[in-house]
Amino acid sequence: MNDPGITFFAKPSEMNIRQHISLKPFNTFQIDIRANRVIECKTPDELKEAIRLATESEEKLMVLGGGSNVLFTDDFDGTILLNRISGIEITSENEEYVFVKASSGEVWHELVMWCVRNNYAGIENMSLIPGRVGAGPIQNIGAYGVELKDVLHQVEVIMIDSGETRILSNAACQFGYRDSIFKRDMKGKCIIISVTLKLSKKPVIHASYGSIKHELGKKGITQPTIRDISEAVIHIRQSKLPDPHTLGNAGSFFKNPEVEKAFFEQLKIKHPSIPGFEHHPGTIKVPAGWLIEQCGFKGKQFGNTGAHKDQALVLVNYGNATGKEILRLAQLIIKTVEESFGITLKTEVNII
């Protein structure tokens, strides 16, 4: 139970509370399952009140932002909080840097576009990543050579057991590759309400990623701006990844695995074309999409699901797939890749 000394400001009668409704509109896989209760929260106070209601009912609690990194395999026997807390503001700045605070319910791509328009550099390589701001620190989202941890200053959270607001520094978030404290020690214990980014007014361009260089080269751009980088990334993502509005998916389903350099060298002997790059000293990151494609899954349909024809890393819902059906395919892919390469893939998507 919550601390009885805590005051909750929102009134249930003022909140959008719905019972036993489908979550299909709220997850990008478009899985048609139901939740006991869905509460839309537009302010931190409404979020606190929703937590209290769920706690009093002794129900499971889950926060959904854009629903772009989740696979529901069954009805959710609990309360879903739809995070719709909005707002972007500058909290401080100097000649070199600007600190931008974004509420967790903001759409991530819209935040990126706001920063690009204002020439605040640091997240342009992460254009068009689906989902909302609050999911960013949980996953330590990243793309094309840049990760959120590179620019994150602090995260503001509400503790579920007490309603207390806390500030976590970058270091306190314990970021790793698609990992953070929010997936480990603080999983299920807090809800992110805002993220503050430290962005540069003097852009350092990250254009070394092969596909970005190629895209800029096609346009004859030799001195790119952050807008050029953003537009290149958007074009690349749109050409490779299916639009979840038309074909249900959650983007990359698996993480790119990291293996020991010595093991990778042995793989190179058996599979001379295997790609990889050094991520940390002594470890090599191997593209999961390549491994899956080599196992014959790319573009192959299994009932109502399959691996996308342009990107094997993306599992899709062709219209009537259940979460269990997609999970079975994921498990088959993991088993086949392990048997073929001795590498165990790990899911990036949160499976419920």
Interval 160-196: pLDDT, tens: 988 899 999 999 999 998 889 999 999 989 999 999 9
Q: 252 an active-site residue? A: yes
Confidence of residue 11 (pLDDT cuts 50, 70, 90): low
Average pLDDT on 193-219 reads: 89
**Alpha-carbon gap, residue 132 to 303, rounded angstroms:** 31
Q: How many helices (H) and strands (E) does the chain have?
A: 8, 20
Average pLDDT on 252-281 reads: 91
Interval 287-315: pLDDT, tens: 999 999 999 999 999 999 999 999 999 99
pTM of the full predicted structure?
0.84
pLDDT, position 16: 85
Assign domain 88-200 one CATH number from 3.40.50.300, 3.30.9.10, 3.30.465.10, 3.40.50.1100: 3.30.465.10
pLDDT, position 306: 97
> Has residue 279 got a pLDDT over 80?
no
**Alpha-carbon gap, residue 67 to 106, rounded angstroms:** 13
Confidence of residue 217 (pLDDT cuts 50, 70, 90): confident
- Residue for token pair 């701001």: 133
DSSP label at 202?
S
Q: What is the mean pLDDT of the chain?
A: 91
Interval 75-97: pLDDT, tens: 999 999 999 999 999 999 999 99
Confidence of residue 203 (pLDDT cuts 50, 70, 90): confident
DSSP 231-251: HHHHHHHHHHS--TTTSEEEE
* Token reading at 157: 């959270």
Catalytic site residue from 68, 104, 127, 252: 252
Assign domain 12-83 one CATH number from 3.40.50.280, 3.30.43.10, 3.40.50.300, 3.40.50.2300: 3.30.43.10
pLDDT, position 40: 94
> Has residue 1 got a pLDDT over 70?
no
Q: 162 an active-site residue? A: no
> Has residue 346 got a pLDDT over 80?
yes
Catalytic site residue from 178, 194, 215, 230: 178
Average pLDDT on 197-203 reads: 94
**Alpha-carbon gap, residue 225 to 62, rounded angstroms:** 39
Average pLDDT on 12-40 reads: 89
Q: 37 an active-site residue? A: no
248-351: in CATH 3.40.50.1370 = no
Average pLDDT on 230-242 reads: 91
Q: Where are the domains of the chain?
A: 12-83, 88-200, 248-351
Average pLDDT on 42-63 reads: 89
Tell me how long the chain is. Answer: 352
Catalytic site residue from 40, 59, 110, 348: 348
Confidence of residue 4 (pLDDT cuts 50, 70, 90): very low
> Has residue 150 got a pLDDT over 60?
yes
pLDDT, position 13: 52
Distance of alpha carbon 49 from its chain centroid, rounded? Answer: 26
Q: Among 34-38, 69-73, 240-244, where is mean pLDDT lowest? A: 240-244
Confidence of residue 207 (pLDDT cuts 50, 70, 90): confident
Average pLDDT on 114-127 reads: 96
